[in-house]
Amino acid sequence: MINDTNAVLRAIRERRSIRKYTEEPVSRDHLTAMLEAGQWAPSGLNNQPWRFLVILPGDERREELAQCTKYGHIVRNAGALVCVLLQREAMYSETKDHQGAGACIQNMLLAAHALGLGAVWLGQIINDQAASLGALGLSPDDYELQAVLAVGHPAQRGDSQRKPLTELLLEDF
Amino acid sequence: MINDTNAVLRAIRERRSIRKYTEEPVSRDHLTAMLEAGQWAPSGLNNQPWRFLVILPGDERREELAQCTKYGHIVRNAGALVCVLLQREAMYSETKDHQGAGACIQNMLLAAHALGLGAVWLGQIINDQAASLGALGLSPDDYELQAVLAVGHPAQRGDSQRKPLTELLLEDF
């Protein structure tokens, strides 16, 4: 299989959501490499509407953010949080900017995996924009929170399944 | 730099939109590997709302699709088109399913790059859903077109730039 010998295809296939982390800190170099990966995502008209905010342990905004989601325990235990936002004045299309944010997030999740880190895409936390942006000291007039990525050195193996490809293809080719 | 020695980080950084292709066909194995990469994207609640339709040269839907976009010349010259759709009955959140589609698309673009193919994310083609879905014989009641990926063996080097990371970070960390 092509997948087994190609490092990129393997990473795409083997990446899993990791929700438990050791106490080892996440280095600034690793976080920077993740952010640079996010930065290189494609966007419509190359508008690059994404903005990043990194929250490290000790930052009091972490606890405020934890209270905005039922996954607060993950927020509290992560080695770092990468908040991914869209800057409203940089947006050009609701749908395409959300897609672009997804591409940006996926680049960062793959980068984390490739660096030996574990990460999870926290999505439920964006449901109450006023609360979660408020926890970060930001206004919904200026930003739309897209996700919080919890990152750390993995203390678990992830596990997940996918539908068979035949169910996803509208017709054979 | 970490980026230079890590195959995944390099692929993320070096992937470019490729809009010109040679006449060499895209193999079924390569297309399958791309689709499998898309399949392994994360989605909220693991709902996997994406569906795929591959259009090969000779399929008359290709010309109909070409007429739905000002980038019809790319559609006509690609070795293959991968249409990425969301199935409405599998969706749970407009925003998060669009983000998930973006993650899925990015996986496929990275896979194409990793396989030595070139690809481009066509987004303007989704603006008129009725027309583009009609070209594919699908109904907007059932599907939402997310993008068409044009794929082929590259006949150009891509070129693109990104804002410096300092402009994307709301604050230093």
Q: E strands within chain A?
A: 50-55, 80-87, 118-122, 143-152
Would residue B138 count as lying in a domain? yes
Name every chain B residue with its beta carbon within 8 A of the beta carbon of A99: 98-99, 101-102, 105, 123, 146-147
Would residue A161 count as lying in a domain? no
Name every chain A residue with its beta carbon within 8 A of the beta carbon of B95: 98, 126
Phi, psi of B122 (to 5 degrees): -90, 115
d(C-alpha A112, C-alpha B113), whole Å: 19
Partner-chain residue, chosen from B3, B37, B110, that has the shortest CB–CB distance to A33: B3
Would residue B12 count as lying in a domain? no
Partner-chain residue, chosen from A15, A95, A102, that has the shortest CB–CB distance to B100: A102
Cβ pairs bridging A and B (under 8 Å):
188
Distance from CA of B32 to the nearest CA of A (A): 9
A98/B contact by beta carbon, under 8 A: yes
Distance from CA of B40 to the nearest CA of A (A): 6
Q: E strands within chain B?
A: 50-55, 80-87, 118-122, 143-152
At A1 the pLDDT is 52
Would residue B35 count as lying in a domain? yes
Mean pLDDT (chain A, rounded) = 97
Would residue B55 count as lying in a domain? yes
Would residue A119 count as lying in a domain? yes
Residues B40-78: tens digit of each pLDDT: 999 999 999 999 999 999 999 999 999 999 999 999 999
Beta carbons of A146 and B99 less than 8 Å apart: yes
Band (pLDDT 50/70/90 cuts) for residue B2 is low
Would residue B127 count as lying in a domain? yes
The total of structural domains in chain A comes to: 1
Distance from CA of B152 to the nearest CA of A (A): 16
Amino acid residing at B51? R
ipTM given for this complex: 0.98
Q: Is pLDDT at B123 greater than 80 in this prediction?
A: yes
pTM: 0.98
How many angstroms separate the first and last alpha carbons of chain A? 19
Would residue B5 count as lying in a domain? no
Residue A125: give its domain's CATH number: 3.40.109.10
Beta carbons of A15 and B40 less than 8 Å apart: yes
Domain range for B137 is: 26-156
Residues A100-156: tens digit of each pLDDT: 999 999 999 999 999 999 999 999 999 999 999 999 999 999 999 999 999 999 999
Residues B6-51: tens digit of each pLDDT: 999 999 999 999 999 999 999 999 999 999 999 999 999 999 999 9
Q: Are B33 and B64 in contact (CB under 8 A)?
A: no
